[in-house]
Structure 1
């Protein structure tokens, strides 16, 4: 006889997509407390989305729920668009936060605060696990893998809040759009690139995110990267307050990320909508 199969509520949520074009989907399995880690890994590999998440009862009293996050290849301690999409799905499925208008997510990176806004949900950018200058050899590999010259790089920094991102800043949004990365040369690096639009553009910045080592060559729209970039850019005075990011352009997506600066916190937000709802058998 085969192993027992159980059914779980399931949502697939599109995140960071306020307009007609899609953003970044996340698969969300609800009430997943008795799903094994191996089942989680296998299902995430099967969905072949950049992330698949599993909602569980929290283990810490401050949290409203606990979240486990998987790429097709590995589990992540934190990721941004899965955080927003899973919170959206949890609320839509009857979740009741302990504080009105606010949520607390427990995940591998600790506790993450979220809040509701007119435009959807936003999360407080978690502290960076690793920041500061990128080692010369690593930076050289990243730059070469982007097929650009070192002279085009205005700045670089580790912006790792869990997945392992390093950030590179270029002069213009068009330079970011024009990138033709060499994923074999990039290897296991997770590289995020940002460049500014001229005033009056579709957003303040264009961002692209590359993670071939996680089986996600280019992520359509990336909350964790944008959270890390925001902390870096604010610390260096590149941004002084609120701004917006367009992402996913090259992939035909319509991602829009809002970054809101309040006191010592950067809030990362965007629209979420459930596209598929049903059950999954694991």
Structure 2
């Protein structure tokens, strides 16, 4: 089944494919299916290892398995809404246990979900302006440094490099694959991975773009795991106890997306969540060498 995530209408938001019963599909077949579908992520649902949980969920990009991601969890929660207990689902993932809370409209129909990042915020290394700007295809002056330098952050999923940019830089940005490759080669602390999340202030909210060409995603329409990182990082910088931010992403791609992110300080660190709507689009089956998989 495919759904558009972080939107209230078809053909907006971020596309996701979900295999609701992936029993019998090998890891190599999962990767092949994700590559074949050519979406930013595809999820495969398996029985949980602990029966108290809802399911074990594996998330694949076009090129690799991911420990956690935002829009795949929101979308998978939407697809598996009939398995919820008291409006909640618990997904076992590489990054840890992910809790998904369903959202409903006034009629009781499921419209989307809220997902908590599986781990507290971790603030990592900063990157030089020239490297970050080259990867984003912008001039160094397009990066705003009044509050922070380009900074790597994580909360259990893929680490992201967060850049605050000017309005002009946001519009002009385009990932430079050669610069991404050089930066990863010259910066061993990145562990061979690099994704950029550009943001700017836009009235009371935020505008964002995400580039991850090394993982096969030239640009992402909506990045829930980056939204939790940004919320947690902005709270970290502000010193406040809690905060909430509305983020618009995907406009430049023609797939406008709307994400609601929150963060709060806890005894275990800064924890963040992201919420958004979902719309079902397609339903079908995949043909594998020895089976038809519904």
Instruction: Return the match for 2:203 from 189, 198, 204.
Output: 198
1:26 aligns with 2:24: no
Aligned partner of 1:164 in structure 2 is 159
Question: SS of the counterpart of 1:230?
Answer: helix
Residue 263 of structure 1, CA deviation? 6.0
Contact 1:19 1:254 in 2 (8 A): no
Instruction: Return the match for 1:17 from 7, 14, 35.
Output: 7
1:131 aligns with 2:123: yes
Question: SS of the counterpart of 1:18?
Answer: coil
Q: Distance in 1 between matches of 2:132 and 2:80?
A: 37
Residue 27 of structure 1, CA deviation? 0.7
Instruction: Return the match for 1:40 from 10, 26, 30.
Output: 30
> Does the C-alpha gap of structure 1 residues 237 and 129 become closer, same or farther in structure 2, counting only changes over 3 Å?
closer
Structure 1 range deviating more: 60-69 or 38-47: 60-69
Q: Distance in 2 between matches of 1:19 and 1:236?
A: 34
Residue 237 of structure 1, CA deviation? 1.1
Aligned partner of 1:116 in structure 2 is 102
Q: Which runs of 5+ in 1 are unaligned?
A: 1-10
Q: Distance in 2 between matches of 1:20 and 1:78?
A: 25
Residue 71 of structure 1, CA deviation? 0.7
Question: SS of the counterpart of 1:206?
Answer: strand
Instruction: Return the match for 1:180 from 174, 183, 187.
Output: 174
> Does the C-alpha gap of structure 1 residues 129 and 62 become closer, same or farther in structure 2, counting only changes over 3 Å?
farther
Residue 180 of structure 1, CA deviation? 2.7
Q: Distance in 2 between matches of 1:176 and 1:238?
A: 26
Aligned partner of 2:56 in structure 1 is 66
1:97-116 matches, cutoff 5 A: 97=84, 99-116=85-102
Aligned partner of 1:5 in structure 2 is none
Residue 159 of structure 1, CA deviation? 1.9
> Does the C-alpha gap of structure 1 residues 238 and 225 become closer, same or farther in structure 2, counting only changes over 3 Å?
farther
Aligned partner of 2:259 in structure 1 is 257
Q: Distance in 2 between matches of 1:280 and 1:238?
A: 49
Aligned partner of 2:225 in structure 1 is 224
> Does the C-alpha gap of structure 1 residues 78 and 25 become closer, same or farther in structure 2, counting only changes over 3 Å?
same
Q: Distance in 2 between matches of 1:100 and 1:272?
A: 20
Higher relative CO (Cα under 8 Å, sequence separation at least 6) belongs to 1
Aligned partner of 1:4 in structure 2 is none
Deviations 1:140-161 (A, max 9, x none): 4222222334343322321223
Q: Distance in 1 between matches of 2:224 and 2:251?
A: 16
Contact 1:128 1:228 in 2 (8 A): no
Question: SS of the counterpart of 1:194?
Answer: strand
Q: Distance in 2 between matches of 1:123 and 1:68?
A: 16
Aligned partner of 1:280 in structure 2 is 286
TM-score (normalised: structure 1): 0.85
TM-score (normalised: structure 2): 0.81
Residue 212 of structure 1, CA deviation? 0.5
Question: SS of the counterpart of 2:243?
Answer: coil
Aligned length: 261
Residue 219 of structure 1, CA deviation? 1.0
> Does the C-alpha gap of structure 1 residues 280 and 132 become closer, same or farther in structure 2, counting only changes over 3 Å?
same
Contact 1:126 1:227 in 2 (8 A): no
Q: Which runs of 5+ in 2 are unaligned?
A: 105-110, 182-192, 289-294
1:77 aligns with 2:67: yes
